[in-house]
Chain A
Amino acid sequence: GAVVSQHPSRVICKSGTSVKIECRSLDFQATTMFWYRQFPKQSLMLMATSNEGSKATYEQGVEKDKFLINHASLTLSTLTVTSAHPEDSSFYICSARDPSGGRYNEQFFGPGTRLTVL
């Protein structure tokens, strides 16, 4: 199956700093990638949909200036948490859609990035 990687797997940063998380599709080209946030013992919340070469579409309530998304190539999307605060601590997961699957296409998920803001 298709493989999606994320880097880093864990990051600890100080409050006020910015953190970049990378999401890569390793063996397919992903025109669309998704960023999710998962709180402890809770479900995944879609933050934004990232389309290659265009601006990301953010879900209601997600601050686009806080969570910057760039999808510069067909295999890479990045999420930058700007001026991070402790409340941004969470598990961030990306997924990539394989465009060959048609309407009922599968999303392939990365292993996630655990962000802790001190």
Chain B
Amino acid sequence: GNSVTQMEGPVTLSEEAFLTINCTYTATGYPSLFWYVQYPGEGLQLLLKATKADDKGSNKGFEATYRKETTSFHLEKGSVQVSDSAVYFCALSGQFQGAQKLVFGQGTRLTINP
């Protein structure tokens, strides 16, 4: 079945540092890929998405590129801020049966220190 694997956290960085959170997936066909963010005490929010190979999703300075050859969708940001502290989830929805369902990675807790 479909699955998503994220780098384990927690991740702690200083403000303005470069961020990478690795995400790899297993799926048949061409899934859609997502990054969700969960701020403390809030629900999940879609951060960015990519729906086909080589697409780059971007939002709020974050980027991720859909790499079919390496089955990856790593999240990057060039200069993080304290307000980026949150839990980040990589997810996919399959191309075939059950395409509405989201399969989540285990989440990565990010803490940015001033």
Task: A69 to B51: give the CA distance in the assembly, Å.
Answer: 30
Minimal Cβ-Cβ distance residue in A for B90? A43
Which of A14-22, A71-79, A80-88, A108-116 contacts the other chain? A108-116
> Considering only CB atoms and an 8 Å cut-off, how many residues of chain A contact the other chain?
22
Write the nearest CB–CB distance from A68 to chain B, whole angstroms. 20
Which of B51, B93, B101 contacts A49, CB < 8 Å? B101
Question: Is chain A's interface secondary structure helix, strand, loop, or mixed overall?
Answer: strand
Write the nearest CB–CB distance from B43 to chain A, whole angstroms. 4
Q: Restricting to B65-111, which residues have a CB under 8 Å from any CB of A?
A: 89, 93, 99-107, 109
Interchain CB contact under 8 A, A43 and B107? yes
Chain B residues with CB under 8 Å of A4's CB are 43
Minimal Cβ-Cβ distance residue in A for B52? A104
Mask: chain B, 33-75; 1 = CB below 8 Å from A; 0 = not: 0001000011111100101000000000000000000000000
Chain A residues with CB under 8 Å of B43's CB are 4, 6, 93, 109-112
Given contacts A93-B43, A111-B43, contact A49 B100 (CB under 8 A): yes
Chain B residues with CB under 8 Å of A106's CB are 46, 49
Chain B residues with CB under 8 Å of A110's CB are 43
Interchain CB contact under 8 A, B44 and A93? yes
Which of A41, A97, A109 contacts B44, CB < 8 Å? A109
For the complex, is A34 an interface residue (Cβ under 8 Å from B)? yes
Chain A residues with CB under 8 Å of B36's CB are 109
Chain B residues with CB under 8 Å of A46's CB are 101-103
For the complex, is A11 an interface residue (Cβ under 8 Å from B)? no
Q: Which residues on B are within 8 Å of A, measured CB to CB?
A: 32, 36, 41-46, 49, 51, 89, 93, 99-107, 109
Q: Could you list some 20 contacts between A and B, CB below 8 A?
A: A4-B43, A6-B43, A34-B101, A42-B106, A42-B107, A43-B89, A43-B104, A43-B107, A44-B89, A44-B104, A46-B102, A49-B100, A103-B99, A104-B51, A105-B100, A106-B49, A107-B46, A109-B36, A109-B45, A111-B43
